[in-house]
Structure 1
Amino acid sequence: MTHTADSPSPTRRIARERLARKREQVRAGAAAMRRETFHAGMWATRAPVWMWPALLVITGIGAALRLFRLGFPHRLIFDETYYVKDGYSVFNFGYERSWPENADDSFNAGDPSVIEPTPEYVVHPPLGKWLIGIGIDLFGADDSFGWRFSVAIIGTLTIFLIGVIAWKLFRSAFFACVAAGLLSIDGEHFVHSRTSLLDIVLMAFVLLAFFFVLLDREQVTKRLARWTPSTADPHRSESPVAEAAPPTAAARRRRDRKERDEINFGPRLGVRPWIIAAGISVGLAMGVKWSGLYAAAAFGILLVAWDVHSRYRAGVVHPWLGMLIRDSIPSFLKLVPTAFVTYLACWSGWIRSDDAWDRQWAAENFGWWQSLPEWLQWLPSLAHYHYTAYSFHVGLDSEHPYMSNPWGWIVQWRPTSFYYESYDQGDMGCLADKCSSAITSVGNPVIWGLAPFAVLICLIVWIIRRDVRPAVILAGLAATWLPWFAYQERTIFTFYTIVMVPFVVLAVTYCLTLLWGRAPGRQASRRRPRLARISTALFARRMSVGIILAAAVLAFAYFWPIYTGEVIPFTAWNNRMWNITWR
């Protein structure tokens, strides 16, 4: 039996039937994804109008609280002794210069002229210090308000940012405001926003990168929800009568091959500019502290896992292969090189200088780098600088009274005291026999008391319901917490948890959304007694959410004196040390 072009062979007919079945599977998967996306509110890209002024009000209140008496105490506290002076140095000279032994006294008195012309060896990248230097330049080196101004503004902006992130995750304007409000009244976030350290700047860029990953996922989800294979149009006729020129056998084979590839692996997802934005953000995070590298790795893994998940939901036959073939290399090139170039740009002041620390190392030491052009001589010098800084970091094991273990971070087991002064009666307005003035970086007890349960609930809900939202929150928490377990022998502190704070707040907020529940639908109105029971239970759950939020606000007000350094009786300070490890 012979076969013409219009009469395909049995093998080709079986292949086409198999392709048709796959096409229907993909259409069913894409349709299911469209329904799921619609019901999840993904198409509701516009938030209610009232949400934006509400977030601005919450952010404005957070700003007022952070800027109130920001200049107190008028002296360098805790690690401000490094970062404020380095901020002044970097902003004025492009790199860190050394200071004499008693430089803090001169700087506190408003005299930074004691700075020396020799370079200083530091182990953190310069970007955070550049940002601190902006506030010093605006208000003057003699104004302690200016020392802390930049971090206060950065901390305030993250309140608004987490509200937008919560909207993207939960599609609830109310819980977007809840997340912003909880962050604004968390003690860790509040104290860091009023102290000129690098960690809240690191947190801001990590949170921004997380936001861009969410935007990329929103774009990809919409793209896949609209997708059907380009050659699988159900309205397309394959009849020669309907076409001006019937396709040749070779053209049909090319078309079938293209359709098979698209069904097996899914479509290409285009430029994906939000991955580039995320790469810039993690590069800036690394430019503040190297621990931003963990966020880059975690968010890269999150992008891979999310790409596979989205292709699977869309009905792609081989989602893993689709991710590897379509997404992996383009996404890697958008994220990693972008982050690396951004990170190098943070060192521009050091690169352009002549006498910064280790800047002339390549010129003073013989090696393969001598063959590099002169304009690249800075590269091996910078590499050597990084090697020595890394050796310092991993070898830091000196004892410190406030060092802590990562196992206790999730419950604030050993918070860090940034400032403490003891006064006798009559000093600084002290009316008791003995008074205390303290700034303690301890999280809001309500938020952190719920944190371990929130993390556990997120894990359980992710496993049982396959809900992506708690998985994403846990990914952010893993990026900012888990890496520190590899350095348990190193000197580390609970104040590093400031980078975890937004993800702890999101985890608690997610659990509050579960507790809040949904109002019964119209069909339930046919059964009045059951509707009454549901309404009573729902009212109780929502009252519970309200009580938790009110308790968080009251706890913040109660701990306000030890967040801001107010002079209070020693007994009042002691009453706020709820755990003996807080002292």
Structure 2
Amino acid sequence: MIWGWAYRWRVQLMATGVGVLAALLRFVTLSYPKALVFDEVYYARGAFSLLVFGYEGDWSGDDQWFASGNYSGLSSEGDYVVHPMVGKLLIAVGIKIFGPTPFGWRVMEALFGVALVVITALIARTLLRSTLFGGIAGVLLAVDGLAITMSRTALLDGFLAFFAMAGFGLIVWDRERFRRRLSARMDAARAEGQDPTLGYGPRMGIRWMRLGAIVVFALAMSTKWSGGYFAAVFLVLSIVWDMTTRRSLGIERWFGGSALRAIPTFLATLVLMPTVYVATWWNWFATDGSYARHWAETHPGKGVTWLPDSLRSLVEYHRQMWEFHTHLTTPHSYQANPWGWPLQIRPTSFYFEDVNAHCGAERCVSAITSIGNVAIWWVAVAAVLYALWRLVRRRDPLGFVLSLGFFAGWVPWLPYAYRTIFTFYSIVFIPFLVLTLAWMLQRIAQPRGRGTWSPKGTLIVGVYLGIVLIIAGYFLPLWTGNPIPYDYWRMHMWTRPWI
């Protein structure tokens, strides 16, 4: 009887299990280190000033004054920030609830990191039609080093990863719902003696999940502009899925019907995305001290003159932000060529300090290095290549569809290899690499399709997952910053670029 109950609730149990695992790895000792880690110096302090002034004020003095409770470096002069508001507003929520403490400025990042693991597992379960492999996808993301590190650090990219994956999830679940509703309407039409395959097929009304996806993608873009790439890729995928669904159900004008009914989606995108984006700048509009808030008033006749002064100022501000991003070439010790991101060739060191701790050695260090779990990353790259092979040779598109988010998050950066950019940006596409990897593992364990297990393939998958967990345990201190002997840290530096 208990097994029957467990089977009925298997999806909920799976989601809870991977969520608990992710939470343990992200929330335990979240307050450590009690310092601003890497670019937290910009985003944690910026979020705090949002609570004080309603806008981001400029900071002076030592970068670590803030972590020690000294806020005297904050001035009312607007700070020139180069990213949209959503991520910093979310960090501010944590500070508002828990105070300007390390836990306070990291808690929302950790919460969204756990949610990212759970929705990745649910999306995998839906597309792979397997609760087991959905759970495997969730576990893989839960124990990945980059995902753990980014969930424990108050940066923007973790929020971007969540919104990109959540938007994709809404596209996936919209497809499932659309197919069920379309089939039901066609069956109802046949029952009434009509032929539903003639013409463009039945009308389906408003696609609320697709509209929700547009809003979520707008929030992604309102966190970092690169979220727009995910919107473009997955909204096009949604239309392609509509076409394949109509064609599979035998609708005569499947292409024209899908294209015609994509017009409202296109128009909704043109309205919703800029509306949501501009709305996320509400505090910039509502305050006088924000950077460039009154630029139009002091520069009459310049910029986009037909816009109201406030919007003209915002457009000019965005022009300055664009100039910054496209010309940022200041050398940095941990900048990394995007060609090496998928193989984690040059991970980012977020934090490294000698500490006075009892670690069993003369020299103890606290290090946070965003090295991904190489057993996941290196094999996931092979999974992407396998997906491309399956698409070409076997006409199996699922693996390629799962890897689209990887290409959306990686390829746009390749032309900007000359810029000062970092490997940790790849947090936005590791969930999609995990989806592709779970798909490949399913193909290995069930080469003839779901329900037919290969003993050899199952053993390979089991051994591989064991290796993933062993490497996760080995590298965990470098992902959480727990004090360790310096020699133990050196043992983890497998290649020179990692040091």
* TM-score over 0.5 for the pair: yes
Partner of 1:329: 263
Shifted more, 314-323 versus 407-416: the winner is 314-323
What's the counterpart of residue 360 of structure 1?
294
For 2:81, the equivalent position in structure 1 comes to 122
Q: Which amino acid aligns with 2:161?
A: M
- Decide whether the 8 Å contact of 2:243 with 2:258 is kept in 1: yes
Does structure 2 conserve the Cα–Cα contact (< 8 Å) formed by 1:298 and 1:478?
Answer: no
Please tell me whether the aligned partners of residues 411 and 451 of structure 1 are also in contact (alpha carbons under 8 angstroms). no
Separation in 2, partners of 1:56, 1:578: 35
Letter in 1 for 2:179: T
Mapped partners of 2:343, 2:282: distance in 1? 40
Which residue of structure 2 lines up, in the alignment, with residue 178 of structure 1? 136
- What is the CA–CA distance in structure 2 between the aligned matches of 1:159 and 1:520, rounded to whole Å? 26
Which one of 196, 202, 215 corresponds to residue 267 of structure 1? Answer: 202
Counterpart among 474, 481, 486 of residue 570 in structure 1: 486
- Identity over aligned residues, as a percent? 37
Amino acid at match of 2:47: G
Residue aligning to 1:485? 414
1:389-404 alignment, distance < 5 Å = 389-404=321-336
Establish whether residue 287 from structure 1 lines up as the match of residue 222 from structure 2.
yes
SS in 2 for 1:294: helix
Partner of 2:4: none
State the 1:264 CA deviation.
4.2
Q: Tell me which of 33, 38, 41 is aligned to 1:73.
A: 33
The 3-state SS of whatever aligns with 1:265 is coil
1:238-317 correspondence runs (5 A): 263-317=198-252
Q: Deviations over 1:402-426 (max 9, x none)?
A: 1111211111111111011245xxx
Question: Does structure 2 retain, via aligned residues, the 8 Å contact 1:405–1:488?
Answer: yes
The 8 Å contact of residues 76 and 289 in structure 2, kept in 1 or not, is answered as no
**CA 1:386–1:414: 2 relative to 1, 3 Å:** same
1:199, distance to aligned residue in structure 2 (A): 0.4
Q: Do 1:459 and 1:474's aligned partners in 2 also have CA atoms closer than 8 Å?
A: no
Query: Does the alignment pair 1:545 with 2:461?
Result: yes
Larger radius of gyration: 1
SS in 1 for 2:351: strand
> Quick one: distance in 1 between partners of 2:229 and 2:270?
12
Corresponding residue to 1:579 among 488, 491, 495: 495
- Which one of 397, 415, 421 corresponds to residue 347 of structure 2? 415
Contact preservation (8 Å) 1:358, 1:382:
yes
Contact 2:85–2:280, Cα closer than 8 Å, also in 1: yes
Distance 2:322 2:219 in 1: 18
Instruction: Look up the equivalent residue of 1:120 and give its one-letter code.
Output: D
Cα deviation, residue 544, structure 1? 1.2
Q: 1:212 offset after TM fit, Å? A: 0.5
SS in structure 2 at match of 1:118: strand
> For the structure 1 residues 353 and 169, does the alpha-carbon distance in structure 2 shift closer, same or farther, using more than 3 Å as the test?
same
* 1:341–1:119 CA distance, 2 compared to 1 (3 A): same
Residue 458, structure 1, aligned to residue 377, structure 2:
no
Q: Distance in 1 between matches of 2:482 and 2:157?
A: 24
**Kept in 1: contact 2:384–2:400 (CA 8 A):** no
Query: SS where residue 275 of structure 1 aligns?
Result: helix
- The AA in structure 2 aligned to 1:308 is M
Q: Is there any run of 5+ residues in structure 1 with no aligned partner, and where?
A: 1-46, 238-258, 523-533
Partners in 1 of 2:128 and 2:306 — Cα distance?
56
The aligned amino acid for 2:473 is: A
Deviation at 1:572, TM superposition (A): 1.2
Distance 1:221 1:204, change over 3 A: same
Q: What residue is the counterpart of 1:55 in the other structure?
A: 15
1:106 shift after superposition: 2.1
Residues 318-364 of structure 1, C-alpha deviations (whole Å, 9 max, x = no match):
43323222x22111123342222111111111111122111111222
Distance 1:234 1:176 in 2: 37
Displacement of 1:429 in angstroms is 2.5
The one of 93, 102, 119 equivalent to 1:161 is 119
- TM-score of the pair, normalised by structure 1: 0.80
RMSD over equivalenced CA pairs, Å: 2.5
Q: By how many angstroms is 1:570 displaced? A: 2.2
**Equivalent in 162, 172, 178 of residue 214 of structure 1:** 172
Q: Is the 8 A contact 2:443 2:449 kept in 1?
A: no
Q: Distance in 2 between matches of 1:551 and 1:51?
A: 25
Amino acid at match of 1:76: L
Corresponding position: 1:341 with 2:275: yes
1:229 shift after superposition: 9.9
For residue 565 of structure 1, report the CA deviation from its aligned partner: 1.5
Gaps of 5+ in 2: 1-6
CA distance in 2, matches of 1:336, 1:548: 45
Partner of 1:111, secondary structure, is coil
Give the counterpart letter for 2:379 in structure 1: L
* CA–CA separation in structure 1 for the residues paired with 2:285 and 2:8: 47
* Deviation digits for residues 182-223 of structure 1 (CA, Å, limit 9, x no counterpart): 111000000011111110011111111000000111122223
Are the equivalent residues in 2 in contact too, given 1:229–1:263 (CA < 8 A)? no
Residue 137 (structure 1) aligned to one of 96, 100, 104: 96
| Higher mean C-alpha deviation, range 278-287 or range 314-323 | 314-323
State whether residues 302 and 475 of structure 1, in contact with CA within 8 Å, keep that contact through their aligned partners in structure 2: no
Secondary structure class of the residue paired with 1:98: strand
Please tell me whether the aligned partners of residues 278 and 335 of structure 1 are also in contact (alpha carbons under 8 angstroms): no
Distance 2:25 2:450 in 1: 41
> Contact 1:436–1:567 (CA<8 Å) still a contact in 2?
yes
**Inter-CA distance 235–352: structure 2 relative to 1 (3 Å threshold):** closer
CA offsets 1:157-205 (integer angstroms, 9 cap, x no match): 1111111111111111111111111111000000011111110011111
Of the candidates 538, 558, 561, which is equivalent to residue 477 of structure 2? 561
